Amino acid sequence: LLLWGDLASRAPGLPLPHPDVARRRFVAIPLLELAPELVLPGSGMRLADLVDAMPPHPMDPRAGAHAGAAPEDPTMNGPKVEALVRELLRELGEDPSREGLAKTPARVARALQFLTSGYHGEVRDVVNGAIFTQQTHNMVIARDIELYSLCEHHLLPFFGRAHVGYIAQGRVIGVSKLARLVDHFARRLQIQERLTEEVAEAIRDAVGAEGVGVVVEAQHLCMMMRGVEKQNSVMTTSAVLGSFRASTATRSEFLALIGRRQ
């Protein structure tokens, strides 16, 4: 498919070998790592969006009961969690058997399974070998990575964006893995300060970076919905390691490139 894209630029109208070639799972999944932004001719759909829309393979042990379901967590006792949620609803003065709440315990169990999936698996599984040799000694930055997490103090969400950067020393990491590392640590009960440090340390250890910088900006519902009820408050945290900490110039370059002033 990638070769076809190159040929098509020199021979407009050149048809695909098969119109549905990119819709075959065994073609689309491997290509996703190489060209997630590739726009498929005819449909105008990005390859990444196409893969996201594919239903889980019936033989995939990670597939849930429906498309988009969270991977099954073998350490989580779903029925027990459902019973606890049902009891919580009673304590709140609700009737968990009424129509609107009858399936709520199961939904909450699945939601918690997904929102805490970062407890399971290792960083090496997230990176999945996507470390590449490249003789470069420059700054690499991924900005505006959306993140969603749960505050460990009230179990209420906080959400925002992360900006991550590092200076490579002969090895680089696949850009999508930077976002996956943010998700890996965000999908836990967290505080923003720890989340920021964990992402920075994981990137440093994965590629042996000379320096790493991570800035997280997030809004916390525990401050917005309750307590002080400050609707426009934004919390900013940063973690700088190696040359990002030692060199004012390096740190200033990183902050300038992500649109912040020191």
- Residues labelled catalytic: 151-154, 192, 220, 222
Question: What are φ and ψ of residue 238, in 5° steps?
Answer: -140, 150
Residue given tokens 């934004």 in the structure block? 234
For the residues of 164-187, what is the DSSP string, one character each?
A: EEEE-SSEEE-HHHHHHHHHHHHS
- Locus of tokens 């893969």: 51
Neighbours of 176 (CB within 10 A): 14
Residue 78 structure tokens: 């779903």
Q: What's the CA gap between 7 and 78, in Å, rounded? A: 51
Cβ atoms within 10 Å of 90's Cβ, excluding its own = 11
- Smallest Cα–Cα separation from 82: which of 61, 62, 101? 101
Cβ(107)–Cβ(65) below 8 Å: no
